[in-house]
Structure 1
Amino acid sequence: MSSEKLNVLDFSQARIRTLHFTWFAFFLTFVMWFSHAPMKPFIMEAFNMTNEQWKALLILNVALTIPARIVIGMLVDKFGPRSVYSLLLLTSAFLCWGFAFASSYEQLALFRFLCGFIGAGFVIGIRMVGEWFPAKTVGVAEGIYGGWGNFGSSAAAWTLPAVAAYLYGGDDGWRYAIATTGVVAFFYGLIFYRKVRNTPKGSTYFKPKKSGGLEVSSWKDFWFYVAMNLPMYLALAVLTWKLSPSGVGLLSATTALLLWIGLVLLFFVQLSQIYKVNKDHLKDGVPDMQRYKFKQVAILDWAYFVTFGSELAVVSMLPAFFMETFDLTPIKAGLLGGAFALMNLVARPGGGLISDRFGRRKTLSILICGLAIGYMLLSQIDSAWAIPVAVLSVMVCSFFVQAGEGAVFAMVPLIQRRMTGQIAGMAGAYGNVGAVTFLTVYSFVDAATFFMTIAGAAAVCFIAVQFLEEPQGHMVEVDEDGSVQLIEVT
């Protein structure tokens, strides 16, 4: 047996270098994924769009990300983050160009839907960073990766309109600005493949025995895993409904019905794949040293549902909330609403750092509790509040939200190394499920009730987190040649 600790302590400079290469790859995916948002006036004018058509684009932008994160997680575990991240960046560039130079609303909608695939890039770096950093520092490293990468959405909002106006100009400036993000991503994909390794020198990259689903440790966990897939399909069904004639009307009733039938069939196909992965694995019995509890994955999924799910939902509605509550111009409201995302730079690494220092369960419990209180506070904001106080309240709440995200992914790499991509993919998908859930609630209620709903979900999540088990000692991975490696998790 050998310990991972012996392999990584001599590579501090290489670790930092890999972290910077990886968070910037994630940063570029978020720049491309949200490049359309700050271009709203130009795009709507170019295509003579209605508000309902624009809302349809926003829905399409997140729809594909839910299944894409699951699929990308499987590919990462099988082929390694270096190849998968490079390929995703190269592919994303073409999707970005397709959207930028669309000539009709139908083409625009199609490429916006396909651009949801770009949002799956997040899960790739989780496995990469987990391979390079030991347990005692993996939380802050994952926090830097996630927080600095997430800032790509804000960077797009703050820079692309200026690029469109001052660098390119003209009616098609927005097209060239968006296309430029694809050019940068394409060349960076080539650089990433050339400069980055999957693991530190001397470390083994462990892979699942089979692809198509997580390997679990018992038949009880098998059915638990199957049940945890249902909310993702329900979220996709809700998205289909929102695009149907009952929602924004982008899909016909027949197309929506076919998609719902397709989702049911897809669920049973996935169920058969999960069974194939686990039938022999469970029949022969899983050795004690390789067992893990699926409840750990499920709790982290629901924690990300509340944290990242609420962030995506709140970022989508906060500028309009400020504009309506305080009678502000769209520009001022957008700048104030951006305060929520801005906290990513420090809050997410902070959550990972606290988790490394004070324990995974304790940290997540405190942050989820703070998140619930924060949203309860936001539910009380009205026109009588001073604007600086309202903005400060938003920033305090966002700290707990994004620090909670950092705490979730501080633990993800410590559950089962060879399946980190799939575990990250499932947790990441649950973040999008949370966004769909909360935005659907928001379409029926006022802002105060919306914030209280998130606070209530956080309270339920707080109870679930109490059942999270602190990682202890080492996880055990077995190489293809049968050799055993101990990987430190505390």
Structure 2
Amino acid sequence: MDTDTKFNLFSFTGKMKILHMSWIAFFITFFVWFNHAPLLGVIKETFGLTGAQVKTLLILNVALTIPARIVIGMLTDRFGPRKTYSALLLLCSIPCFMFAFADSFEMLAISRLLLGFIGAGFVIGIRMVSEWFPHNELGTAEGIYGGWGNFGSAAASFTLPSIAFYVFGGDDGWRYAIASTGVASVIWSFIYYATVSDTPKGSTYFRPKNLGGMEVTSKGDLLFMIIMKLPMYFALAMLTWKLSPKGVTLISDGAALAAYAGLAALLVVDCYKAIQVNKNLFKEEVPEVHRYEFKQVAVLNVLYFATFGSELAVVSMLPLFFSETFSLSPVMAGMVASAYAFMNLMSRPAGGLISDRFGRKSTLLILTAGLAAGYALMSVIDSSWPLALAVIAAMACSFFVQSGEGAVFAVVPLIKRRLTGQIAGMTGAYGNVGAVVYLTVYSMVDTSTFFMVISGTAVLGFITLLFMREPAGHMAEVREDGSVELIQVSS
């Protein structure tokens, strides 16, 4: 940890420099990831897309992030956040440029699917920030990282329509606006690599013993972890169904069957790797000091399904919703819809800060209840509402959504330090599972039902939260020389 005890947001040295460099990297990933949302109207017009095709692009945008967050979490734990973040920003600029200059729906779909990989950037910074900040500041720091980074989607909604129409102009203005986000991604990849380090000087970067899967500390937890993998594969199977002739016919029946078979085979391999990584559990018990409860991870997965999953889905559809409900222009709809994501600037840091001050579990209980009520309120918004009141309702709902996200990731680094990337990856992946499920529901029902479904899953999250244990005491980590270090995780 950085020995500097001051938490000064206006500082750009030590741990605060790392925080600022990392949230900007995360901001750019979201700026790129959601560069299409405020421009969907003009993209739809340019290509003559159907409503079903537009909704398919929304689902594709979040689909690949499910496995990507798992993979990126593992790579982060193994190679460190500096190298992993820099490589991700550079490589994901390629599908960004592909989307900007696509000439068919198929090219739009493929590039949008590949762009989902940039959504995995979030988990990298979670590990980076956890290496630099002490436990009593971790929730606040992670909240600032997540909230200010998540604001990239609001910045996209607010700025890209104006850049497209007023800076570049013409029929291809939207293309250059989207391409400009890819340029930003390339530039920051080099800046990040050159200016940050994985840990403070003299600190140990703890790595997992195995790269092939997450370590657990009991046979019961191994079974639990395998069960928790199933929804991720279900979400990918749901996506395949959506793309098949039973959905929008982007792939053939034969290709869909091949995809189902591939997912089944991948699940078997994934489970086999999990057993291999944890085979020591069948020979001897893990010492008490090294144990952690996987149920902590599982509860966070469910909560992030409801919080971040709903945010991804709502950010994707909200500009179009406001445009159609209140007959707004694309520029105005993008600006109005950005109010939902705008709340990230304060909400997510607030969730982390409250969690640091008043306890992880109690904070999550209150925020999850507010989330359920917020989406229930949004379900009754229609054209009879004053626009200002609809925006206020969206902002109030988003406060609970994004504060909940901050509170979730105030807990993630406190479970097992050397597995932080993998735990963040799995929890983050569940956010994308939620997004795929919610957007699939959105493609099948009206908007009111869509918001009520999210509210219902938030109630489920509240119930599962009752089983979570408040993080307390210390966690033990093994240094590379074999010695054990006790790391304080609460006061």
Q: TM-score, normalised by structure 2?
A: 0.94
- 1:476 positional shift: 0.7
Decide whether the 8 Å contact of 1:63 with 1:239 is kept in 2.
yes
Aligned to 1:297: 297
SS of equivalent residue, structure 1 residue 468:
coil
Deviation at 1:188, TM superposition (A): 1.2
SS at match of 1:475: strand
Q: Report how far residue 59 of structure 1 moved.
A: 2.0
Residue type of the alignment partner of 2:17: R
Who is 1:209 aligned against?
A: 209
Residue in 1 aligned with 2:165? 165
Shift in Å at residue 29 of structure 1? 0.8
Q: In the alignment, which residue of structure 1 is the partner of 2:60?
A: 60
Q: In the alignment, which residue of structure 2 is the partner of 1:411?
A: 411
Residue matched to 2:229: 229
Q: Distance in 1 between matches of 2:384 and 2:38?
A: 29
Report the 3-state secondary structure (helix = DSSP H, G, I; strand = E; otherwise coil) of the residue aligned with 1:119. Answer: helix
Q: SS at the partner of 1:151?
A: helix
Aligned match of 2:86 = 86
Instruction: Describe how 1:219-368 pairs up with structure 2 within 5 A.
Output: 219-280=219-280, 283-326=283-326, 328-368=328-368
Distance in 2 (alpha carbons) for counterparts of 1:96 and 1:382: 34
Task: Indicate the SS of the match to 1:338.
Answer: helix
* TM-superposition CA deviations, 1:23-59 (whole Å, max 9, x none): 0001111111112223334434544443333332222
CA contact (8 A) 2:41 2:320 kept: no
In structure 2, C-alpha distance between the alignment counterparts of 1:28 and 1:142, rounded to whole Å: 17
**What residue number does 1:8 align with?**
3
Deviations 1:34-87 (A, max 9, x none): 122233344345444433333322222111111000000000011110110011
Partner Cα separation in structure 1 for residue 218 and residue 100 of structure 2: 48
Task: Provide Cα deviations, 1:193-216, integer angstroms capped at 9, x if missing partner.
Answer: 111010111110000001111100
Offset of residue 422 of structure 1:
0.6
**Structure 1 pair 140/248, CA: closer, same or farther in 2 (3 Å)?**
same
1:430 correspondence with 2:430: yes
Shift of 1:383: 4.3
Tell me the residue number matched to 1:22. 22
What SS does the corresponding residue of 1:35 show, helix, strand or coil? coil
CA contact (8 A) 1:56 1:250 kept: no
Q: Is the 8 A contact 2:218 2:281 kept in 1?
A: no
Whole-angstrom distance in 2 between the partners of 1:44 and 1:314 = 19
Distance, in Å, in 2 between the alignment partners of 1:108 and 1:61 is 10
Structure 1 pair 277/396, CA: closer, same or farther in 2 (3 Å)? same
Q: Distance in 1 between matches of 2:56 and 2:381?
A: 29
Contact 2:243–2:249 (Cα < 8 Å) also in 1: yes
- The answer as to whether partners of 2:106 and 2:250 remain within 8 angstroms in 1 is no
Partners of 2:327 and 2:35 lie apart in 1 by 27
Aligned residues: 485
- CA 1:187–1:11 in structure 2 vs 1: closer, same or farther (change >3 Å)? farther
Partner of 2:473: 473
* Distance in 1 between residues matched to 2:202 and 2:309, nearest whole Å: 38
Amino acid at match of 2:3: V
- The one-letter code matched in structure 2 to 1:217 is T
In 1, Cα distance between equivalents of 2:414 and 2:386: 44
Distance 1:462 1:359, change over 3 A: same
Change (3 A) 1:52 1:458: closer
What is the rounded CA distance, in whole Å, between the counterparts of 1:393 and 1:169 in structure 2? 33
Structure 1 residues 101 and 447: CA distance shift in structure 2, 3 A: closer
Secondary structure of 2:476 counterpart: strand
RMSD of aligned alpha carbons: 1.9
Farther off after superposition, 265-274 or 382-391: 382-391
Between the aligned partners of 2:459 and 2:40, the Cα distance in structure 1 is 36
Deviation, 1:10, is 5.8
Answer yes or no: is the 8 Å Cα contact 1:11–1:200 preserved in 2. no
Shift of the 394–54 alpha-carbon distance from structure 1 to 2, 3 Å rule, reads closer
When structure 1 is superposed on structure 2, of 371-380 and 415-424 the one drifting more is: 371-380
Go from structure 1 to structure 2 and tell me whether the alpha carbon gap of 1:107 and 1:334 turns closer, same or farther (over 3 Å shift).
Answer: closer
Q: Is the 8 A contact 2:162 2:331 kept in 1?
A: no
Q: CA separation in 1, counterparts of 2:141 and 2:25?
A: 15
Aligned pairs (5 A) from 1:97-108: 97-108=97-108
Cα distance, 1:426 vs structure 2: 0.6
Q: Is the 8 A contact 1:213 1:277 kept in 2?
A: yes
Unaligned stretches of 5+ residues in structure 1 = none
Give 2:179's aligned residue. Answer: 179
- Structure-1 separation of matches of 2:381 and 2:92: 39
Is the CA contact 1:364–1:404 (under 8 Å) kept in the aligned structure 2?
yes
Runs of 4+ in 1 over 6 A off after TM superposition: none
2:75 aligned residue: 75
Residue 413 of structure 2 corresponds to residue 387 of structure 1? no
After superposing the two structures, state which structure 1 stretch, 157-166 or 212-221, moved more. 157-166
Contact 2:96–2:182 under 8 Å retained in 1: yes
Alignment correspondent of 2:10: none
Q: Provide the residue aligned with 2:117 in structure 1.
A: 117
Q: Map Cα deviations across residues 378-408 of structure 1 (whole Å, 9 max, x no partner).
A: 2333444433333222211111111000000
> 2:383, 2:466 → 1: CA distance?
38
- Matched to 2:133, the amino acid is F
CA distance in 2 between counterparts of 1:170 and 1:262 reads 43
Identity of aligned residues (%): 61
The whole-number CA distance in structure 2 between the counterparts of 1:136 and 1:302 is 25
CA distance in 1, matches of 2:321, 2:40: 18
Match of 1:126 in 2: 126
Label 1:246 to 1:339 Cα distance change in 2 as closer, same or farther (>3 A).
same
C-alpha distance in 2 between matches for 1:21 and 1:367: 28
Cα 1:358/1:476, change in 2 over 3 Å: same
1:365/1:120 CA distance change after superposition, 3 Å: same
